[in-house]
Structure 1
Amino acid sequence: MSDIFDGYERQYCELSTNLSRKCATLSALSGEQKKQKLSELNAGLDEAESLIRRMDLEARSLQPSQKSALLAKLREYKSDLNNLKKDVKKSAASSDYISSRDELLEAGLANSGTASADQRQRLLMSTDRINQTGDRIKDSKRVMLETEELGVSILQDLHQQRQTLLHATDTLHGVDDNLGKSKKILKNMANRMGRNKFIMGGLIALLLVVIAVVLYFKLR
């Protein structure tokens, strides 16, 4: 297994446990305490999502024998993170509902006339703003996921190109070794040819000397 993946995994498990504890206490809070706790939860969810992306990238960069097991484990963590997001959203919605109900009850007790209509109008406007903000957040997350998938695809392509380059480098080294061996063989052949020429020249010179001596004695 990958030590880097194991490190990310430990961080995620600790963070997930901490987020679950904070989420359980969110519905009991109100006002500034609720806003602060919700802000901490959202920051923790972003960090958890970042850890999952890192684990995903690390798992996809490993060999196929290791990759399959880690990706299966990663799917469980993604499901756990989705459940955490749902729990936080439910707790926040429940808290918002209770706060809004209390505000309406207080306004109704203070002024049961036109004040209740104003409160409903403000509540509707607040709900619309919340829905619009939620839609923008969903769009941002969708773009982020698409960017993440593109980044993973690019990393896979780069990994394949790296493997191709390494294979080409090994092939070039093999060709270079073969060229070196061929050069040595050609050099040895050239040396042999030089020696053979020298020997042939010596033999021809010797034959000429012998012929000259034979002719000299015959003429005398």
Structure 2
Amino acid sequence: MSSDFEGYEQDFAVLTAEITSKIARVPRLPPDEKKQMVANVEKQLEEAKELLEQMDLEVRDIPPQSRGMYSNRMRSYKQEMGKLETDFRAHLLDNTERLERSSRRLEAGYQIAVETEQIGQEMLENLSHDREKIQRARERLRETDANLGKSSRVLTGMLRRIIQNRILVVVLAIILVVTILTAVTFSVRRH
């Protein structure tokens, strides 16, 4: 009986060593290989459980006085099996968490891109409005400049007329004074 048990023990040791090695490699594999490896490990875990069941049956057939040592070994194998299953789940969870974190980072990046695009759109609209305001202000400045040019020409024309009028008044005053003086001179000569 014990030789069957020891044979199962050896098979169990080889199988658990393979499972441990594969579990350690799972996180570093590319997605398609990872899926295949996970399926392979799950199959081997089932085989290990079946081996434990066979070993358990063998232990039950061992006489009670010799059973204690084998029962202790069985307990440690079952603990090892539990640890393997926990490690395997932990590695799968790690991968899922990594995927979720990457997904969250992608979503955050996308959100930032959308917000940046909206801000850029608003800035473009603001710049467009500012450009229109600047163009309107330029047009008003041109109109004002044109109006100032017209006003300047009108004022220059008015100043010219004022100067002409003053010269005319001075000329008329001189003519009037000359006329009066001539009249006075003739009148004094006659007397």
TM-score range, shorter chain: 0.5 to 0.7
Unaligned runs of 5+ in 1: 1-34, 36-95
Deviations 1:66-115 (A, max 9, x none): xxxxxxxxxxxxxxxxxxxxxxxxxxxxxx4x654422221134453434
Q: Structure 2 length normalisation: TM-score?
A: 0.59
Give the one of 164, 167, 171 matched to 2:136.
Answer: 167
Aligned CA RMSD, in angstroms, stands at: 2.2
Alignment: residue pair count: 126
Q: Say yes or no: does 1:150 pair with 2:84.
A: no
Which letter maps to 1:103? M
Tell me the residue number matched to 2:38. 104
1:185: Cα distance to partner? 1.1
Unaligned runs of 5+ in 2: 1-29, 49-80
> Whole-Å Cα distance in 2 between the matches of residues 157 and 177 of structure 1?
30
Q: Structure 1 length normalisation: TM-score?
A: 0.52
Give the one of 119, 127, 152 matched to 1:183.
Answer: 152
1:193: Cα distance to partner? 1.2
> Whole-Å Cα distance in 1 between the matches of residues 93 and 40 of structure 2?
17
Which letter maps to 2:187? K
> Whole-Å Cα distance in 2 between the matches of residues 144 and 199 of structure 1?
81
Which letter maps to 1:191? R
Which letter maps to 2:183? V
Deviations 1:173-218 (A, max 9, x none): 1100110111011111111111111111111111111111111222
> Whole-Å Cα distance in 2 between the matches of residues 214 and 157 of structure 1?
83
Higher Cα Rg, which structure: 2
Give the one of 165, 172, 178 matched to 1:209.
Answer: 178
Aligned pairs for 1:62-141 within 5 A: 96=31, 99-112=33-46, 113=48, 114=81, 115-141=84-110
> Whole-Å Cα distance in 2 between the matches of residues 109 and 150 of structure 1?
54
> Whole-Å Cα distance in 1 between the matches of residues 139 and 186 of structure 2?
71
> Whole-Å Cα distance in 2 between the matches of residues 108 and 216 of structure 1?
146
Q: 1:166 is paired with a residue of what secondary structure?
A: helix
> Whole-Å Cα distance in 2 between the matches of residues 128 and 209 of structure 1?
118
Tell me the residue number matched to 2:63. none
Identical positions, percent: 26
Tell me the residue number matched to 2:70. none
